[in-house]
Amino acid sequence: MRSILLTGGAGFIGSNLVRHLVRGKGVSVVNYDKLTYAGNLESLRDLEGDPRHVFVHGDIVDREHLGAVLAKYSPDAVMHLAAESHVDRSIDGPGEFISTNVVGTFTLLEAVRGYWNSLDKGAAESFRFLHVSTDEVYGSLGSDGFFTETTPYAPNSPYSASKAASDHLVRAYRHTYGLPVLTTNCSNNYGPSQFPEKLIPLMILNALDGKPLPVYGTGKNVRDWLYVEDHCEALWTVLRNGRPGEVYNIGGNNERTNLQVVHTICDLLDALRPRPDSLSYREQIRFVQDRPGHDLRYAIDASKIQRELGWAPRETFETGMKKTVEWYLENLEWCRRVQDGRYQRERLGLSSVNGIPEREENIL
């Protein structure tokens, strides 16, 4: 593949994927992004001047603009990552999630369908539309078991419900129109250039600032953690070798409780950037009111993608976390620049439930 239209390429996973494709695979990328609060071209400053990266400022609900961009750049594939993605924000304001994740995906599918129908036979046969989704569409697991590609959908938040709806739309466009789509459902990503509202960067920055490290409930909620560079390679593998119409779950084989994650961050900071008073950063941990409807456990069975396409994660949780903490310590100025004043690490996701504004720092 020579050229890819990638939506959401200024976000966390998207910016890492743009760099992975341009520098790692030699692919030209048209980066289509709305530049919301969590999308920032600071994450791609190192690609300035590279002719293989073209940025287009646009919104996926704009059908006419999408059609014009597709016609102008004639991509060989579309990788769809643009989405509102934070559960707490979806609790406070679900409308934006429906607009972007559901209506936006529908609009993009319509634009891509029109473009695909205009291609000659050979180009149409090789074209692919990759929809990047989440394991949260499956709901919550108990203490055992794993999500597979056939697990029934049971979303429990406005965010996961909006992503589930978009997954169903993508599937319908395959079965109704024959569009050559692929869908991936991934576990929790972490790594460089993640916006500081998410658990890992938030804990790192709060720790360094001497602020409390707020952990929801008892901290026993479990997530499977996937290093973002491993995810990028998995997406490339699915795009190149996946079978149209198929779903592939992507996981890191790294289940940890939220409290274990925070402990790992504290221990790494203790070694890499000790507190002036020589105490452990664990002293800053505070347990706070749990998120409404907080899913207990997510865990991915990624055996299908490994068996059929030969992908497996390279990073362990320990190696990935060390790289992540080191990146944030070396890029504190980036963290300052991407927080433009609208988000100051305040707690989200409770005001609409209790009717009382919350100012506790937010975590995943």
Q: What is the mean pLDDT of residues 60-69?
A: 98
Looking at this protein, which amino acid is placed at residue 204? Answer: I
Instruction: Show the domains of the chain with their CATH numbers.
Output: 3-193+226-252 (3.40.50.720)
DSSP category for residue 297 = B
159 is catalytic: yes
State which H helix or E strand residue 225 sits in.
Answer: strand 222-227
Residue 216 has pLDDT above 60, yes or no: yes
Q: What is the mean pLDDT of residues 152-173?
A: 97
Work out the angle at residue 358's Cα, subtended by the Cα atoms of residues 354 and 362, and round it to the nearest 5 degrees.
Answer: 115
> Which residues are within 8 A (CB) of 291 and not within 5 positions of it... i.e. 6 or more apart?
87, 88, 91, 216, 217, 349, 350
Q: What is the mean pLDDT of residues 234-263?
A: 97
pLDDT at 348: 53
Which one is catalytic: 159, 173, 190, 216? 159
Which one is catalytic: 33, 59, 84, 136? 136
Q: What is the mean pLDDT of residues 255-260?
A: 97
pLDDT at 349: 54
State which H helix or E strand residue 3 sits in.
Answer: strand 3-7
Q: What is the mean pLDDT of residues 161-169?
A: 98
Which one is catalytic: 59, 135, 197, 295? 135
Residue 340 is encoded by which pair of tokens? 């433009």
Confidence of residue 110 (pLDDT cuts 50, 70, 90): very high
295 is catalytic: no
Lowest mean pLDDT among 70-79, 80-89, 150-159, 327-336: 80-89
Q: How far apart (Å, rounded) are the C-alpha atoms in residues 159 and 155?
A: 8
136 is catalytic: yes
Q: What is the mean pLDDT of residues 57-83?
A: 98
pLDDT in tens, 175-212: 999 999 999 999 999 999 998 888 999 999 999 999 99
